[in-house]
Amino acid sequence: MILKTFGWSFVITAVGLALAVLYDGWTAFGIVAILSILEISLSFDNAVVNAGILKKMNAFWQKIFLTIGVLIAVFGMRLVFPVVIVAISAKIGPIEAVNLALNEKEHYKELVTDAHASIAAFGGMFLLMIFLDFIFEDRDIQWLRWIERPLAKLGKVDMLSVAIALGVLLVSSMTFATHAHLHGGAHADKGETVLISGIAGLITYMIVGGLSGYFEDKLEEEEEAELEAEEAAKKSGKGGASAVLLAGKAAFFMFLYLEVLDASFSFDGVIGAFAITNDIVLMALGLGIGAMYVRSLTVYLVRQGTLDDYVYLEHGAHYAIGALAVILLVTIQYEINEVITGLVGVVLIAWSFWSSVRRNKRIAAEGGGDFSEKAEVSTGV
């Protein structure tokens, strides 16, 4: 199972490290290795959340996620995205932006730093909406009951998550954005930029998340109708209807949602990479290797049924998402070390895993049963 799931990750690691040595010697080898570890540590919560979505998709779309999805993640977000951001923020052509990335690395880093406010606002709002929609949903299984139970009741208010997100964005634009940090320790008022970028992140979430949710609901309805048709067919001797086309639409929009989600998670990794190197090639190699492991880990969690056995993992990952959203907004003005960002996610997920283990032991002591089907309410502490 390990080799089957992580095999391509091992291959990409070997190829990436070899290319790093050929590109700039053993120093480049060390930089790429460090960047890979950075990406994995910052994105473990991404893998858990992805697994919760990917388990609803068939084997074909899981393969698409590991192939085309990786190309988008590596070349799109870890290579093309930083160049596009510089081109847009500096109002220069894409060719000139690529030239800066390859030949004027210090100036390129300065431009990316100056564009951080818009990047953080977009990613922060997208991730904040994911967290809010999760925490306001009424669930059979609750981890931190003292938080989740009252919030689930508040979640019955229509558009509450959108109202809160817009409120957070407004406050951020009037506080952090008024002293957004630039290169060289300078500060500037980026309130308008943060508002526009944050609204763009909110709109992106509502469109992509809304479409994926819509087709997922339609798929569930169609699956129920298909089961009823199959039962009727057994009695009448006739065939039932097919839901392949609808399933394809649902899977496509869930795949699109996963890619936008990955993009939002990758912001802190891309920005944090500049603390290690300004070389766009080494950055793409290191973060690309890390992204491959995150995707393999996602598939591993799905195939092992880990989220079904350890039911609080998804809760911990979403709390980590909420923390990351806040951190991104705070970094508009203040610099926060990537180690702190990574540790917050690791601690929350480790805590949720430990709570899941305790829950499973308690259920076993009370008489056993299928952990994934025990829809009990628990404090998790």
SS3 83: helix
Gap between the terminal Cα atoms of the chain: 32
The pLDDT value given to residue 226: 63
Residue type for 144, please?
A: L
pLDDT in tens, 21-32: 998 888 889 888
Q: At what angle do helices 44-54 and 2-42 cross, to 10 degrees?
A: 130
pLDDT in tens, 141-192: 889 889 899 999 998 888 899 999 999 999 999 999 998 878 777 888 999 9
The pLDDT value given to residue 71: 77
Closest by CA to 380, choosing from 330, 320, 310, is 310
Question: Which tokens sit at 284?
Answer: 């793409």
- 187 bridge partner residues: 181
The residue assigned the tokens 């003292």 is 146
The pLDDT value given to residue 330: 92
SS3 187: strand
CA distances from 126 to 133, 321, 333 (A): 11, 10, 19
379 neighbors 315 (Cβ within 8 angstroms): no
